[in-house]
Structure 1
């Protein structure tokens, strides 16, 4: 599991836009047996989120301001530690709004999962959730809370850097894994060495580098690295 989290952190560091971070999270979620992911950043009344939940559920959640009553968000802010949850354990009694929230979440395939909350600066909170439609999610692959917290912080700070960057360049055409392999190449790592570090097969690493060369019109890997640096991709 450490290898999956390390790859998530590496792909996040190599990401040049939000789409690439979403791609990395999707790969990680599926590797851990989850169907969906959600990143949430709250600061006061401000809320920012991106996720892979069904679009109609995203619209309902934001329009209804469900973050106010979402038991996962409430529990995350209270505990500030990795925890698992299931919608079936949310109280049957209580407000009709909470019951409606639970029923709609389950209807949209969000029934159980694991959430990693991290306290940020100035009262802000970052949360990363992986969700499943199963009655109880298998969280056995997410036991290293220290590494999980590192991943949330990596995503948070990478998003801040991306938000502050307005330069438009060819970097946005690279996939998450192409960018990750390129980053290792800039550090002087060969395809076999990158394979050892990432857990990807050597020929697959070479495939990603070849695709990156094709997209950036580079003749060789050193040429690819030089173009990447010239375009501010690194």
Structure 2
């Protein structure tokens, strides 16, 4: 494994907070000539992001729901391997939303990059992008498919662990079975449907959901789901 990649993996493993993760990714990006990074997780219409993009661009991106038309996100969902991209290949004429997206991205220094997509659980897609203000940059030779996958998973799980450890007290940690049942509840599945999907008895599923509600002082399942998401558990 390339020394720069090895250093990134080690720094991610040692990270104690999000600032340390951000510093590790910034250092890696700059080592290969990129200006910024963006980790994005999509699940249906919902997105979660962790990035070093300019704050004005992040605000525009989220409020305009650009993830729905972003060519990089579209391509990441279509393929499951690392790829490079450039804004030069996006529509440059007309008055479409995609043209406006391109112009605003370029204006904020997002002109080219490389993206690593990974298929996540429950139909989600995770992707890590390194972006540049240059018109084009090649994929770093150190990032072969296997290594790129390892990097994305390292970022994903470190962010998840830090969110869980800082936002949830030990008494409110859900067991693996409770978490599984709550996850299916986020998909709109009731106790009987979850029982079929998991092989757990329906009454036991309801018991896990009730116990999870008690841990979070939630009156209803929707409230439980909301609180668990807010605390970074799901």
**Counterpart secondary structure, 1:166:** helix
CA separation in 2, counterparts of 1:148 and 1:81? 9
Does the 8 Å contact 2:91/2:102 carry over to 1?
no
- State how 1:59-78 maps to structure 2 within 5 Å: 59-78=59-78
Cross-structure match for 2:17: 17
Matched, 1:115 2:102: no
Q: Distance in 1 between matches of 2:73 and 2:157?
A: 20
TM-score by length of 1: 0.68
Alignment of 1:14-53 (within 5 A): 14-53=14-53
CA deviations over 1:5-30 (Å, ceiling 9, x no partner)? 11111111111111110010000000
Gaps of 5+ in 1: 169-234
Provide Cα deviations, 1:209-234, integer angstroms capped at 9, x if missing partner: xxxxxxxxxxxxxxxxxxxxxxxxxx
Q: Which structure 2 residues correspond to residues 1-234 of structure 1 after superposition, within 5 A?
A: 2-92=2-92, 96-166=96-166
Q: CA deviation at 1:144?
A: 1.5
TM-score, normalised by the number of residues in structure 2: 0.68
8 Å CA contact 1:32, 1:141 repeated in 2 = no
Q: How many residues are matched?
A: 168
- Structure number with the bigger relative contact order (C-alpha 8 A, sep ≥ 6) is 1
Match of 1:184 in 2: none
Instruction: Give the Cα–Cα distance (whole angstroms) in 2 for the partners of residues 26 and 73 of structure 1.
Output: 21
- Structure 2 unaligned residues grouped into runs of 5+: 169-234
Root-mean-square deviation (CA, aligned residues, Å) is: 1.8
The list of structure 1 runs, each at least 4 consecutive aligned residues, that deviate by more than 4 angstroms after superposition, is: none
Alpha-carbon contact 2:66-2:101 (below 8 Å) kept: yes
